[in-house]
Every structure is written in structure tokens, then in C-alpha cells.
Amino acid sequence: MLFLRSSTTDAAVNLATEQWLQEQALPPVFFLYQNAPAVIVGKYQNVYAETDPAALRRDHVPVFRRCSGGGAVYHDAGNFNLCFVETLPPGTDLSHDRYVQPLVQALRALGIPADKQRSCDIGVGGDKVSGSAQCVHAGRTLHHCTLLFDTDLAALERYLRGNGGLVSRAVASVRSPVTDLCRYYRGGREQFEADLLRALFPQGMQPLDLTAEQTEQIRRLAQEKYRTWAWNYAAGPAFTAATARGTVRVERGVVVECGDPACLGRRYEDVIL
């Protein structure tokens, strides 16, 4: 198993790294990172249905869209993000258990009474501490998950408040009560990371050192895709919403129908904020 530890908290770069790893013909890779405050939505979600755009704009918290499905999550330095990338033989069972169960066992080895919830979540004491998503591209499987250690849960609740008046075919998040692992573990973030890696990979891992050219490829992908409004906002499905200007229809993030002609052709967030 190759191991890559991100040196940045830039969510655009880390999401681009995940995609880049999936597109390479590499042995199995485990990629670990943390992000500065950001909201990450699933590939098939509607940003406006999952978040509070006014709160995000007020607090300068960015939104990013990942390459996998699943629900919206909040990231900050207190949230560890674990990503497994590998090429699996045809016919391999792609259920989340392949990755979720080892993580459950690793947390238990640290004295944390974790268990699996639903098909792809991990909980402690009935509260969620981890959610997973995955995607397959050209035979390469990418499975990634969050792991709430000491995340700002008040911020999580503040930003992940959707718009109930929005009608869309987008995938909706499943809301669950959450908690932080630091309540069950004696030690800080660095110690937790070290203990978790030893529990997950007792045989050790081989460091993956990226070349300057590979790093530049990831930087360009982050700039050309994961930092763009077209991907993060406009890539969601079309929808209709009730606003102060009347009912509007939005396609590719832009208002295409509205009783107020001044709204036509404008970005949805510029109309409602």
C-alpha cells in the first residue's frame, strides 16, 4: 500500500489529488488529508438545496463538488479525510464494507466503541462520526470518507441547512445526529492520526513521493475544475425555487425563467442574496 499525506489544507487541491490518483496506473494508495473550513457536496447534489448560501458567503466558506455521489459534508481541520484508491478485479464486491469495516475495527483498537450505521456510515453511541462515498473510473475504485475528530459541529449545523422550497431531482443528503471522536479518545489530533494509521496498516506503508510534474498536474486540475463556479455550482441538476422575486427556474446555475425579467440570465445566488 502506498501512502500519501497531503501537505495542504486547500480543498480544491486535495479533491484534485483524489481524482488524479484515480486516473493513474498505480498500486493501491491511501491518501490522508484535512481541509480548511469548506462545504463539500456530492457530484449529483444541488448546492442550494444542501447549504445556507447566505451563511457561507457571510463567513467566506467555499463550496466544492467532489467526483463521487453521496451527501453534503462540512470539512475543517478537525475532520480527517481518508481516501482509498485501487484497481480491483472484475466482479469484486464494491460494497462499502470493504473499507468501512476495517476502519470500524481500527477505531475499536483505539478504544472507541464504533459500529457501522446504514450502508456506509460509522457511528459511536448512536451518533454519526463518519460518512463514505465512492466512485469507479476506468476500473479504478475510489472510496473516501470523513472522520470527525474535533470538528466545529456548530459550524456544520450552521452551513448544512438546505432550502426546503426548492424542487429538484438532485440527490438529497440524509441528515443524522453527529458527534466528535475526541470525546472518546485521550489525545490530540497528531496522536490520533498516528494511532489510527498503525491500527489500519500494522504492516506499514510505502510513502508515495510526487514529482514536480505530477504536483503541477494536480495544481492545474484544481485550478481548471475544482476552483470553478461551473463545476462547484452550475454542475447540479436544473431546479425551481420560490424566491422573493417569485418562482424561478434555474439551469446550469443560471435563472432561465422568472416573472422579473431583471433576473433572467443571472446566477441564482446573485438573485437570492
75 has a pLDDT exceeding 70: yes
126 has a pLDDT exceeding 80: yes
Q: Residue 169's pLDDT is what?
A: 65
Q: Residue 127's pLDDT is what?
A: 95
Instruction: Give per-residue pLDDT as tens, 82-111.
Output: 999 999 988 888 889 999 999 999 999 999
Q: What integer is the mean pLDDT of 235-256?
A: 90
Q: What integer is the mean pLDDT of 198-217?
A: 98
Q: What integer is the mean pLDDT of 238-260?
A: 91
Please tell me which residue, 48 or 191, carries the higher pLDDT value: 191
Q: What ranges do the domains of the chain cover?
A: 2-232, 239-272
Q: What integer is the mean pLDDT of 142-169?
A: 87
Total residues found in the chain within this entry: 273
185 has a pLDDT exceeding 70: yes
Specify which residues 114 forms β-bridges with.
Answer: 124
Q: What integer is the mean pLDDT of 61-75?
A: 95
Q: What integer is the mean pLDDT of 69-74?
A: 93
Cell (9 digits) for 260: 422579473
Burial of 111 (0-12, 13-18, 19+ CB in 10 A): exposed
Q: Are 22 and 142 in contact (CB under 8 A)?
A: yes
Q: Residue 91's pLDDT is what?
A: 81
123 has a pLDDT exceeding 90: yes
Beta-carbon contacts of residue 141 (< 8 Å; ≥ 6 apart) = 84, 85, 86, 87, 88, 94, 134, 135
Q: Residue 165's pLDDT is what?
A: 59
Instruction: Give per-residue pLDDT as tens, 26-41.
Output: 999 999 999 999 999 9
164 has a pLDDT exceeding 70: no
Alpha carbon of 257 to those of 72, 112, 129, 233: distances in Å? 27, 52, 41, 18
pTM above 0.75, yes or no: yes
Please tell me which residue, 96 or 81, carries the higher pLDDT value: 81
CATH of 2-232, one of 3.30.930.10, 3.40.50.620, 3.10.20.30, 3.20.20.60: 3.30.930.10
Nearest to 71 by CA among 105, 44, 102, 99: 44
Q: What integer is the mean pLDDT of 251-270?
A: 92
CA atoms within 13 A on the CB side of 153: 15
Q: Residue 4's pLDDT is what?
A: 98
Residues 268, 254: Cα–Cα separation, whole Å: 6
149-153, 164-168, 206-210: range with lowest mean pLDDT: 164-168
